Amino acid sequence: MKKNIKNLLIIILLTVFLYLIIKNNLQIKINIIKTAKIFITQVFPSLFPMFILSSILINYGFVDLISFLLQKPFSLLFKINPHTSYIFIMSLLTGSPSNAKYSMDLLNKKYINLQEAKRILCFSYFTNPIFIINTTFPIFHDIKIVLKIIISVYLANIFIGLLLRKFDQKNIIKPISFEETLVNINNKVKKFNDIFSEIIFKGIKTMILIFSTMIIFSCISTIISCYITNDIIKTIISGLLEISNGLNNLKIINTSIFFKELISILFLSFSGICIIFQIKSIIKNISIKEFVISRFLHVLISTIIFIIII
C-alpha cells in the first residue's frame, strides 16, 4: 500500500514538473543553453582530462607510489589507510564529484575498504580551483578575496578529517614498504592499448552523468525562480541546487560584498544537491549519509575560517 502511494506521488510530481517545463519553456530553454555553456567551457575542460589521466595513472601503479610517499604525514594526521591519500590529492587538483570516482576506483581495485571509502568522501570534497577562480573573480574582481575563499573551503576539509580521526581510534595502519611498492607497481602495469578505450568510455559516461544532472537541476532552479520575486532568495535556492548557476546569479544581485562572500562560501562548501546526486550515482549502493552530514559541517567550519582570515 505504501509503495503504491509513493509511486502515485512520484507520478503526480513528475506530471506537475512536466506541465511547468512546458509552461516556462522559453526561460528553461535559455537556462539550459547557459548551463550547457558552463559545462562546455568550465566543467568539461577541468574534469575530463583529469579523469582520463587519473585512470591511466591508477593502472600504472601511481596510487602505490603516492601512498608510499605520503603514508607518514597522511596516516599521522587522519589515521586512515594511506592509499586514500591518492583520492585526497587528486580531488584537491580536480574537484568533486571526482572524489567519488577515485574512491570507487580504489574500492573496486581493493586498495581501500567500504568504511575507508565512506570516510575519505567526507573530507575530500573540493571544488576545482580553476572553477572557483572563473566563477568568483567576476563577482568580486579581487583575487585576494578569491584566494581567501579557496583557503577557507580547502582548510575546512583538513579539520573535518581531523574530527573524523577521533571516531576511528582503533583503526590499525599497516605501513607500506618500498619493496612492496615496487612489486605492486610492476604487477599493476598494463598495456596502454588494452586500457585506453575502456578509460575513455568510462570518462565520457561519467561526464554525461554530470552534464545530465546539471541540466535537470537547472530546470528545477528555473521553475522555482519563475515564482520567486526576491533575487537574493532566488540566488540562494539556485546555488543550493546547483553551484555554477548560483554563483553566476550572485554576480547580478544587489547586496553587500561581505554577504556575497558568505553566500559563495555556503555554495562551495555545501556542494549543491546536484553534486550530491552525482556522487550518489557514481558510488551507487554506498550510503552517502555521512557525506551529507559532513556538508553541513563543512559550511560551518569554512565560514568560521573565512571570518577569522578577514
Q: What sign has the CA pseudo-torsion 149, 155, 156, 157?
A: positive
CA distance linking residue 93 with residue 111, whole number of Å = 21
Mean pLDDT of the region 210-230: 84
Would you say residue 171 has pLDDT above 80?
no
pTM confidence score = 0.82
Does the structure show a pLDDT above 70 at 96? yes
| Residues 250-287: tens digit of each pLDDT | 888 888 899 999 999 999 999 889 889 888 888 877 88
Instruction: Give start and end residues of each alpha helix (H) in the chain.
Output: 2-23, 25-38, 44-59, 62-78, 84-94, 98-108, 114-122, 129-140, 143-165, 178-188, 192-225, 231-241, 243-250, 257-270, 273-283, 289-309
Q: Tell me, what DSSP letter sits at residue 42?
A: I
Q: What local confidence, expressed as pLDDT, does residue 188 receive? A: 60
Percent of the chain with pLDDT over 70: 90
Task: Determine contact, residues 44/207, Cβ cutoff 8 Å.
Answer: yes
Tens digits of residue pLDDT in 51-86: 788 777 777 777 777 878 887 888 788 888 888 888
Domain locations in the chain?
30-309
Task: Report the distance separating Cα 202 and Cα 282, nearest Å.
Answer: 11
Q: What average pLDDT does the structure give for the chain? A: 83
Using a 10 angstrom Cβ sphere, with 0-12 exposed, 13-18 middle and 19 or more buried, the burial of residue 27 is: middle
Indicate the pLDDT class of residue 98, thresholds 50, 70 and 90.
confident
Give 233 or 165, the one with higher predicted confidence: 233
Q: pLDDT tens digits, residue range 112-142?
A: 888 888 999 999 998 888 888 888 888 998 9
CB atoms within 10 A of CB 13: 10
17 CB-contact burial (10 Å; exposed 0-12 / middle 13-18 / buried 19+): middle
Q: What is the pLDDT of residue 180?
A: 63
CA-to-CA separations, 164 to 36, 123, 175, 273, 297, in angstroms, rounded? 37, 9, 21, 23, 11
pLDDT digits (tens, 9 = 90+) for 279-307: 888 887 788 888 999 999 999 999 999 99
Nearest to 288 by CA among 117, 57, 41: 117
Q: What is the pLDDT of residue 37?
A: 86
Residue linked to cell 559516461: 205
